[in-house]
Amino acid sequence: MSEHFITEIEIKNYKLFKDFKAEGFGRVNLIGGKNNVGKTAFMEACYLNLNAKKTWFLSAFQELVVSRDNFYWANFFKNILLSFKHLYLPFRQYAKFFRLNTVYSINSNINKIQFEFQQSFWFLLVLKFKLNNSQYFKYIDFIFNVKFKNSETAFLYNIGVSERRLEYLYKKVNDWEQFNKNLTLFDKSLKSFKMTKKEEFFLTTIDDREIHLREFGDGIKQFINFLLIFHSNFVKYIFIDEIENGIHYTNLDKLWEIILTVSKEQNVQVFATTHSKECIESYARVAKRLGDKEIGFIELGRNKFGKLDSIVFDSERFHRFVEL
């Protein structure tokens, strides 16, 4: 496996994780478990840890705090959520996620980060953070002005696909021939995908009809989003929340074949959450058929003392687990 992959993590005080450790991650990692056991929060912690440069960290942090509440603004205000040029962020947005004067730490085999919120003399909120051996602070009042970073990570929340995000990713694709091959593999009726000069998106069918992306369902839109990110020229880590959302169960094998194949070709590490038994079984089935040994399954839950814990299955143990 690549040296840049995250293989272990220690999380303290981040959301549900008070004192948590896990190790043994693969190139592709599916995360399962019941509701409210921190599947998405686990990915957020990994995401923050991998953005251990000042501008990357601030932008990633801001994105995680506001993305769910403000996603739909992106299609109306082009500078929000993607460019982050002028994002108005009330104090209460932070107050509901983090406590004052509490040290949050997320350490991995790649980076070590710490951050803490404090209130200044003038009642301004201060974010103090340490990224590896460098310390910083940022005043936060009603405007958190951070430009969008071009980092090596991508986080896909289960909240739809913004057109602005598609525009940005479209320009980063490095292999359109392979992109369109994977598109056809997923849906045999489709031949190619393009963006016009007016920044509108169209899919071309095998009989050469051009159909606007808006006329398709959520499954195709979500898949296009996946493909754009996997074929971009900057991403090394991809986090996908509720990967099965919008994808019909009959297409899960195709989806996993593309993810496993492209992630190996592009040397990209993937973390994804799921609530679906069909999704877990499909993941195991396709990985076994492809002979992919660099996969893992992370089961999150609570132990008998009520503490969040995990079981990390490597490829061999995971296949035995699924067959039980």
Higher pLDDT, residue 109 or 56? 109
Written as six digits, the tokens of 85 are 């040029």
Is residue 150 very low, low, confident or very high in pLDDT (cuts 50, 70, 90)? low
Domain assignment present for 220: no
Which of 61-70, 89-98, 99-108 is predicted with the least confidence, judged by mean pLDDT?
89-98
Task: Give pLDDT, residue 139.
Answer: 77
Q: Residue by residue, what is the 3-state secondary structure of 199-232?
A: CCEEEEECCCCEEEHHHCCHHHHHHHHHHHHHCE
* Average pLDDT of the residues in 27-47: 95
Domain assignment present for 64: yes
Mean pLDDT of the chain: 86
Domain assignment present for 63: yes
Domain assignment present for 243: yes
Task: Give pLDDT, residue 70.
Answer: 45
Domain assignment present for 173: no
Cβ-contact 39, 273 below 8 angstroms: yes
Q: Which amino acid is at 158?
A: N
* Average pLDDT of the residues in 119-132: 82
Select the highest-mean-pLDDT range: 10-19, 88-97, 145-154. Answer: 10-19
Q: Which residues span the domain enclosing 285?
A: 8-152+236-323
Domain assignment present for 79: yes
Domain assignment present for 214: no
Domain assignment present for 195: no
Spatial strand order of the sheet with 237-240 comes to 153-156, 237-240, 269-273, 28-32, 295-302, 308-313
The yes-or-no verdict on residue 88 having pLDDT over 90 is no
Is residue 99 very low, low, confident or very high in pLDDT (cuts 50, 70, 90)? confident
> What are φ and ψ of residue 10, in 5° steps?
-130, 125
Written as six digits, the tokens of 172 are 């980063």
Model confidence pLDDT, tens digit, residues 180-211: 999 999 999 999 999 998 889 999 999 999 99
* Average pLDDT of the residues in 164-173: 88
What contacts 24+ positions apart, CB below 8 Å, involve 187-193? 187/220, 187/223, 187/251, 190/220, 193/224, 193/227
Q: Report how far residue 25's alpha carbon sits from residue 8's, in angstroms, rounded to the nearest whole number.
A: 7
Q: Please report, for the domain that includes residue 102, its CATH number.
A: 3.40.50
Verdict on whether the full-model pTM lies above 0.95: no
* Average pLDDT of the residues in 101-125: 88
Higher pLDDT, residue 123 or 151? 151
Is residue 127 very low, low, confident or very high in pLDDT (cuts 50, 70, 90)? confident
| Chain centroid offset of residue 304 CA | 30
Tally of structural domains, the chain: 1
Select the highest-mean-pLDDT range: 145-149, 161-165, 169-173, 207-211. Answer: 207-211
